[in-house]
Amino acid sequence: MTDPIGSEPLRHPLGRRRFMAALAGGLVAVPRAAEAQQQSKIARVGITVSTDVYYNAFLQGLREAGWVPGQNVVVERRSARGERNKYVAMVADLIAAKVDVIVASGPLVIEIARKATSGVPVVGLDLESDPVASGFAASLARPGGNVTGIFLDLPELSGKQLQFLKETLPRLTRVAVLWEPENAEAQLRATEEAARAAGLTLSAFGVRHGEEVRPAVERLVRERAQALVVLTSPLLFNNREQIVELARKYRLPNISPFIRFPNAGGLMAYGPDMIEMYRRAATYVDRILRGATVGDLPVERPTKFELVINLKTAKALELTIPPSLLARADQILE
């Protein structure tokens, strides 16, 4: 090879061998540096969940989408166990951890996250509220802000729950509702309307803290309630074992939209599959981490509902579940 201007061969100051070695080293170094830079951009996801089975379902959904905790994603898990006085600090902790997206459970946590940051996308899991009426989304198809996710917004489910109780207790006239004020008002109104339509007398007992559960149940027993409907809320879900223990003690048939209530000893449940909801939440997180705009991701509704009956609890309460109801059950615990 010669210089096109003159006749002297082209020489590199390092010498041919040293130049070629340096060139080869540079070619190798570029992709390695790029690879190291790519690996350093580990995604960070925050999630507010206390139940291990739901958390594991979310992690499974992430893995199915290609996100492996400890490799290309860090998952920051926090829980206030339904105690609303801890919600603000829990969300602030996730924001301080510089997460790229927050998976928030329940309307109060979603609202706190939405107000705390406009720059961090929020994927909500909400069994209690209408996302548009609550101000979380401009519309279901195009939420528009920094919140999307899976919202139940089917308060009429309470009518089905009362129907199942009446089938089990034909002489049922007085029903009590355990609920968390400011967290399930639409459900309470729908339950009251369904009770009136069914000719039932209904009394509502609100609880805002775990220590209020026992006094509320003891009061509704004194008022001679014949059955108990437990509405959805993170607080009541995290106190489900205490609730079913008291219901068993006072021989109080009960039903809840949380299909894991019978696993804790509750009599019946009819509601959405929360495991599937947390798995679906992972698909939202995947799309956001890959560049989707949260405001463009449509809000979803749960599509899978289950009726679960605990026959062991029914026996302890000396109840006979009608065969027609057993035939409709998705799960029967014996």
**Domain 42-154+274-296 -> CATH class:** alpha beta
pTM over 0.85: no
First-to-last alpha carbon distance for the chain, in angstroms, is: 87
**Pick from 108, 77, 140: nearest CA to 234:** 108
**Pick from 271, 247, 259, 268: nearest CA to 326:** 268
Retrieve residue 205's tokens.
Answer: 């007992």
**Pick from 160, 156, 101: nearest CA to 130:** 156
In this model, does residue 77 exceed pLDDT 90?
Answer: yes
Burial of 334 (0-12, 13-18, 19+ CB in 10 A): exposed
Same topology, domains 42-154+274-296 and 157-272+305-333? Answer is yes
In this model, does residue 14 exceed pLDDT 70?
Answer: no
**Domain 157-272+305-333 -> CATH class:** alpha beta
Q: Please name the amino acid found at residue 183.
A: N
φ, ψ (nearest 5 deg) of residue 256 = -150, 155
Which of 175 and 28 is assigned the larger pLDDT?
A: 175
The region, left, alpha or beta by phi > 0 then psi within -120 to 50, assigned to residue 106 is left
Q: What local confidence, expressed as pLDDT, does residue 24 receive?
A: 38
- Binned at pLDDT 50, 70 and 90, residue 30 comes out as very low
Q: What local confidence, expressed as pLDDT, does residue 91 receive?
A: 97
In this model, does residue 16 exceed pLDDT 80?
Answer: no
CA diameter of the chain? 111
In this model, does residue 26 exceed pLDDT 60?
Answer: no
Helix axes 107-116, 87-96, angle to 10 degrees: 50
Retrieve residue 245's tokens.
Answer: 């223990």
**Pick from 275, 186, 263: nearest CA to 232:** 186
The enclosing H or E element of 187 equals helix 185-197
Q: What is the number of helices (H) and of strands (E) in the chain? A: 12, 12
**What are the structural domain ranges in the chain?**
42-154+274-296, 157-272+305-333
Helix axes 213-222, 240-249, angle to 10 degrees: 30
Beta bridge partners of 269: 256, 308
In this model, does residue 103 exceed pLDDT 50?
Answer: yes
Q: Kindly report the CA angle at 148 between 145 and 154, in degrees rounded to 5?
A: 125
Among 25-39, 183-197, 315-329, top mean pLDDT goes to 315-329
Q: What is the DSSP letter of 299?
A: P
Give the per-residue SS3 of 30-77: HHHHHHHHHHHCCEEEEEECCCHHHHHHHHHHHHHCCCCECCCEEEEE
The helix/strand/coil state of 329 is coil
Question: Exposed e or buried b for every residue in 277-299, given b needs 16+ CB within 10 A?
Answer: bbbbbbbbbbbbbeeeebeebeb
The enclosing H or E element of 284 equals helix 274-289
The helix/strand/coil state of 230 is strand
Residue with tokens 């956001």: 288
The enclosing H or E element of 228 equals strand 227-230
Q: What is the DSSP letter of 128?
A: S
**Pick from 108, 143, 112: nearest CA to 128:** 108
**Pick from 157, 223, 167, 164: nearest CA to 190:** 157
Residue with tokens 């400890």: 70
Question: What digits encode the pLDDT tens for the residues 125-141?
Answer: 998 888 999 899 999 99
